[in-house]
Amino acid sequence: MDTMDTGKTMIWSDRWRLGALSKGELMNNGFASVIIGFRFVLFHLFGNTVENVNTNSAFRWMIARWGDKQSFGADYSHGYLIPFVSLFVVWSKRDEIMAAPKKVCQWGLFIIITALAAHWLGAKMQQTRISLMSLILLIWGIPLYFFGWKVAKLLIFPCAYLIFCVPLNFLDALSGPLQRIATTMAHSMLGGMGIECERVGTQLLSPFFQLNVEAPCSGLRSLLAMTALTAVYAYFTQKGIVKKWLLFLFSIPIAVAGNIGRIISIALVSITAGQQFGTGLHHDWSGYVLFTVAISLMVGFGKLLTINYRELFTSWKKAYLSHS
C-alpha cells in the first residue's frame, strides 16, 4: 500500500484500481454481478403471486408484513434490523473469509438449482414465505459454488440468521398457549407473594386490579425478538456448537419469564398506584421491564455456560483439602 512522506498510510492503493484486475478477474466479477442482479430482479418482479396483494415483489410483501398492525405480523417489526446484523457478522469474519482456501464446489450448483426450484414452487403455491426461504438458501448457495465449503461454512450463521426476517404465520398459534402459561405462572407467583388474586381464563381478578392478558400481551413478540437477540449473542459469546444451541433454546423460557415479570409488575403497580395508572401508562412502558428481566437472564445463563466447571471444582477441592 502506498505511503506518504509523513509516514501516514494512505487509504487508496493503485492495486485496487479497475485497470489492475486481470481479464479473468474482470470476467468473474462481471459474471457474479450479473447473477446478483438477476437474483434481485427475480425476487422483486416475480417474487410474490399472492392474490389481492398489490405487489409482485417478495421484498415489498415482506416489509409490509413487518409493519402489519392488523395481525401478528407486527411482531416482526424487528425484521428491519436483521439484515444489518447479518452484514455485521460477515464484516466481523472478513479476515477469516479472505484467508479461507477457495475453490469451486459443484454442490453449490445443486443448492442454487434447489433454491430456484423452491422459489418456483412457492410462487405456484402462492406461498411467498417459501420463496423468501429459497432466497436465503440461494444467498448461501452462490458463495458455496464459487468459493467452496470453507467460505460457505463461515457464512452459515449470517445467512441462516436472515430467517428471522421471514414472517412465519404458523407461529401465531403459539399466542393462546403463551397467554395461558403467562397467566397461570403470574397467578401462582402473586399468590406466593400473599396477594389475593383469582384466575379466570386469561384474566387475573383481584380487589385491587383486573388484568386481562390478551393476545398482543401473550409474549409472542418478545419471544420472537429474544430468540433473534439470543442467537447473535450466543454466536459471539459461546464456544462450541452445543453451548450455542443451549443458550439459543434457553431464549424461549427466558422470553416467557420476562413476560411473566411484566404481568406481575403491572399487578404490583396497580396495587400501589391504582388500576388506571398500572394498566395505563405503566402497561404501555412495561416492555422495558420484560426486556430487562429477559436480557439479564440471557447474560446470566450465558456466563454460566462459559464457566470451566472442571477447573472450578478442582480449585474448590484444593481449597477444601488445604483447610482440612
* CB-CB neighbours of 279 under 10 Å: 19
pTM: 0.77
Query: Residue ranges of the domains in the chain?
Result: 18-167, 172-311
Under 8 Å CB-to-CB from 119, ≥6 apart: which residues?
42, 43, 47, 130, 131, 134, 135, 138
Q: Which three cell numbers stand for residue 274?
A: 391504582
3-state secondary structure at position 20: helix
Under 8 Å CB-to-CB from 2, ≥6 apart: which residues?
10, 12, 13, 14
Q: Give Cα separations from 112 to 108, 139, 208, 237 (angstroms).
A: 6, 9, 61, 32
pLDDT at 124: 78
pLDDT at 105: 85
> Which residues of the chain, if any, have pLDDT below 50?
1-12, 18, 70-73
pLDDT at 93: 92
User: 281-300 pLDDT, tens per residue?
Assistant: 887 787 788 888 889 999 99
pLDDT at 158: 94
User: 64-95 pLDDT, tens per residue?
Assistant: 777 765 444 456 778 888 999 999 999 999 99
Beta strands per DSSP E along 67-133: none
Please give the order of strands across the beta sheet that includes 203-205: 198-200, 203-205, 210-212
pLDDT at 174: 76
Q: Which three cell numbers stand for residue 262?
A: 411484566
Under 8 Å CB-to-CB from 20, ≥6 apart: which residues?
14
Going by DSSP bridges, is the β-strand pair 198-200/203-205 parallel, antiparallel, or unpaired? antiparallel
Q: Which three cell numbers stand for residue 280?
A: 395505563
